[in-house]
Amino acid sequence: MKKAFIIMFFLLTVKLFYADQLEWITKDQAEQTVQYFKDNDIQKVVLWCACCDNDYKLVVEISRIYYKQVEGQTQYYQVWIEGTKKTGGGLQQGVDLAYIHIKEGGKWKSVGTVMGFECDPCTKPFKM
């Protein structure tokens, strides 16, 4: 029984470790990211947390990207995207840069790693 408890504790700890890696970031990181999207005319992203249970790849056509201060937090900012899901319907949400992917060099890569921010996107660059 003790062994089962230890295994469950470890699995829950690992899952919490990966959650929200680059969701709240500095203003400088947010500005850099938004500028990168604009400079490179990035119009499509894949939202996907590879280490999250029951998460699937969601393709989004970006119509707007911006950042804003996290409510109640003076030091933290979040990148927001607005667009249309490939499956239909609109989307407007803050994103974790570890789990939003852009196509670069023929493969989809985590924005966090492309920007050089420390994170673990839980997946290697992938093709779709």
Check residue 19 and give its pLDDT: 52
pLDDT of 46: 97
Q: What is the Cβ-side half-sphere exposure of residue 3, based on CA atoms within 13 angstroms? A: 0
Q: Which residue has the tokens 């899952």?
A: 15
Please check whether residue 95 lies inside any domain of the structure. yes
Number of domains in the chain: 1
121: in domain? no
- Kindly report the number of other CB atoms within 10 A of residue 94's CB atom: 14
Has residue 97 been placed in a domain?
yes
φ, ψ of residue 56 to 5 degrees: the values are: -130, 160
Residue 127: inside a domain, yes or no?
no
The Cα 67–Cα 61 span in angstroms is: 17
So what's the pLDDT on residue 52? Answer: 87
Q: What is the DSSP letter of 104?
A: E
pTM for the predicted model, two decimal places = 0.82
* pLDDT for the residue 55: 87
Domain span at 12: 2-114
The token duo for 72 is 């109640």
Low-confidence ranges of the chain (pLDDT < 70): 1-20
Q: Choose among 53, 54, 44: nearest CA to 100.
A: 44
The whole-number pLDDT of residue 125 equals 95
Length of the chain counted residue by residue: 128
> Which residues 6+ apart lie within 8 Å of 66 measured at CB?
34, 79, 80
In a domain, 27, yes or no: yes
